[in-house]
Amino acid sequence: MASLVYHEKTTNVRPIPLLAESNRRWPILDTARGVAIIAMILFHFTWDLGFFGIVDYDISFTPEGRLLAHLIAGSFLFIVGMSLALAARNGLPFKPYLKRLRYVAGAAILVSLGTFFLMPEDWIFFGVLHCIALSSLLALPFLAAPLLLTAAIAALSIAAPLFIYAPIFDQPWMFWLGLNHILPRTNDYVPLFPWFGVVLAGLVVVRLIDTRAEWAAWFQRARPNAFFRYLARLGRFSLAIYLIHQPILMGVLWSILSLTGPLHLFAPSDGGFAKSCTASCVAAGNKNDKCVTSCSCVGAEISSKMPPVTTLAEADLNRRIDEAILMCRSKGAL
């Protein structure tokens, strides 16, 4: 997850009361972005552990995990809106803005291409970077729009998926809007709605703060302590960290497993497989009862054969899972 840092120092800009050139950056905002980066890395690490079969339960498929993922993504998008509003205080510096927009859009394309070739069944077609890039463009008119109108559009954007639906939105080419009822299969899904509303909400907050001189002065003067200054440094490199952290994490885990062999620390017979399978099935939009039945059958079929799954290599385990799925399908359990 990443965010644009729009609030760059510029020259030849007329200062506004209270704040001079440095009014384009709030140190506390960089710290908040750094905290979000740490949370993102930890969350993705738990996903990687589940992906490699090292743990028996993937947090990203639980209701709590999905809530955590939304909070982390939402924090980045909220900060994008705040940063954009800060950048536009004395007039948006379009050269730095376009430069960073190119970086984010280019990184989004890179992520899509990379995942398409590496994980074609779960490739990222509209993730957080895509949403940041598009929202950064769509938010420009709201930098000068009436504050009440901007707040209303933010609220409507957040609520749109709850009230707007038509069968056409369930077509794959419309998934980027977020108005679909069918959940797409992808490793990062941050559609325009409701998340554009979160970007606008961040923009509204900064504009509200600027209506009170004492509030604006406090945020400008607030300085994090030594520990949080390190987090602030991370926050200034959020895009680069977003791009490299997963390859590093997965590369380290793959290197360890290449030396130790597969570490499947779950046994289908004790419910670990069924629990993880059910969570993934429900997260994909299927009914809970159907998921429980299907995953229980597959888990039982896997554990009914020898040798135990903990002794199988990755390819052998996948083959056994495929065989179990075919067996359960013949029984009508799938």
| Per-residue pLDDT tens digits for 280-291 | 777 666 777 777
pLDDT band with cut points at 50, 70 and 90 for residue 16:
very low
246 or 283: which carries more pLDDT confidence?
Answer: 246
Q: Can you tell me the distance from the alpha carbon of 136 to that of 150, in angstroms, rounded to the nearest whole number?
A: 14
Contact 201, 75 (CB under 8 A): no
pLDDT band with cut points at 50, 70 and 90 for residue 319:
low
- In sequence order, what are the beta bridge partners of 189? 126
Coil, helix or strand at residue 189 = strand
Q: Quick one: tokens of 311? A: 């002794």
Determine how many CB atoms are found less than 10 A away from the CB of residue 226.
6
Cβ neighbours for 251, distance < 8 A, ≥ 6 positions apart = none
Percent of the chain that is helix, strand, coil (3-state, to 5): 70, 0, 30
Q: What is the model's pLDDT at position 11?
A: 36
Q: Quick one: tokens of 163? A: 């009230």
Coil, helix or strand at residue 255 = helix
Start-end of H helices in 164-287? 192-209, 213-221, 226-235, 238-260, 272-283
pLDDT band with cut points at 50, 70 and 90 for residue 334:
low
Q: Can you tell me the distance from the alpha carbon of 313 to that of 300, in angstroms, rounded to the nearest whole number?
A: 19
User: Using one digit for the tens of pLDDT, what is the confidence trace for 199-233?
Assistant: 999 999 999 998 887 877 877 777 767 777 788 88
Maximum Cα interatomic distance, the chain, rounded to a whole number of Å: 76
Q: What angle do CA 326, 328, 332 make, to 5 degrees?
A: 115
Q: What is the model's pLDDT at position 292?
A: 77
Residue 237: exposed, middle, or buried by beta-carbon count in 10 A (0-12, 13-18, 19+)? middle
Segment 12-17 long-range contacts (CB within 8 Å, at least 24 positions apart) = 13/90, 13/91, 13/93, 14/90, 15/90, 16/89, 16/90, 17/213
Q: What is the DSSP string of 93-131?
A: -HHHHHHHHHHHHHHHHHHHHHHHHH-TTS--SB-HHHH
> Lowest-pLDDT range, 54-68, 103-117, 128-142?
54-68
Q: Quick one: tokens of 48? A: 């990687």
What's the residue count for the chain? 334
Is residue 84 pLDDT above 70, yes or no? Answer: yes
Q: Quick one: tokens of 312? A: 């199988």
Cα dihedral: 4, 7, 13, 17 (round 10): 150
Q: What is the model's pLDDT at position 285?
A: 67
